[in-house]
Amino acid sequence: MILDGHVQPIYGLDFSPNGYQLATGSGDDTIRIWDMRASKALYTIPAHTSNVADVRFYKNHEMYSSKPEVNGPSEGDDDDVDMDDSGDPSKPGEDREEWRLRSGMYLASAGYDGFVKLWSADDWYLLKTFPTDSGKVMSVDLSPDAQLLASGTYMRNFQLFAPEEVPVL
User: Domain with 52 in it: what CATH number?
Assistant: 2.130.10.10
Q: Tell me: do 94 and 109 sit in the same domain.
A: no
pLDDT of 70 above 50: no
Domain membership flag for residue 120: yes
Mean pLDDT across 157-164: 80
Interval 105-150: pLDDT, tens: 899 999 999 999 999 998 999 989 999 888 899 999 998 887 889 9
Q: Tell me: do 25 and 54 sit in the same domain.
A: yes
Measured between alpha carbons, how far is 161 from 144 in angstroms, rounded to an integer?
Answer: 14
Look up the pTM and report it: 0.73
pLDDT of 35 above 60: yes
Q: What is residue 34's predicted lDDT score, i.e. its pLDDT?
A: 95
Domain membership flag for residue 168: no
**Lowest-pLDDT range of 24-28, 74-78, 107-111, 148-152:** 74-78
Q: Tell me: do 71 and 59 sit in the same domain.
A: no
Q: Tell me: do 57 and 33 sit in the same domain.
A: yes
Instruction: Give the DSSP H/E element, type plus range, for residue 9.
Output: none
Q: What is the total count of domains within the chain?
A: 2
Contact call for residues 71 and 77 (beta carbons, < 8 A): no
Q: Tell me: do 17 and 59 sit in the same domain.
A: yes
Per DSSP, the chain holds a count of helices (H) and strands (E) of 1, 11
Interval 82-105: pLDDT, tens: 333 333 444 444 444 444 446 778
The DSSP 8-state label assigned to residue 34 in this structure reads: E
Q: Tell me: do 37 and 97 sit in the same domain.
A: no
Q: Tell me: do 112 and 83 sit in the same domain.
A: no
Mean pLDDT across 60-75: 40
Domain membership flag for residue 167: no
Q: Tell me: do 110 and 98 sit in the same domain.
A: no
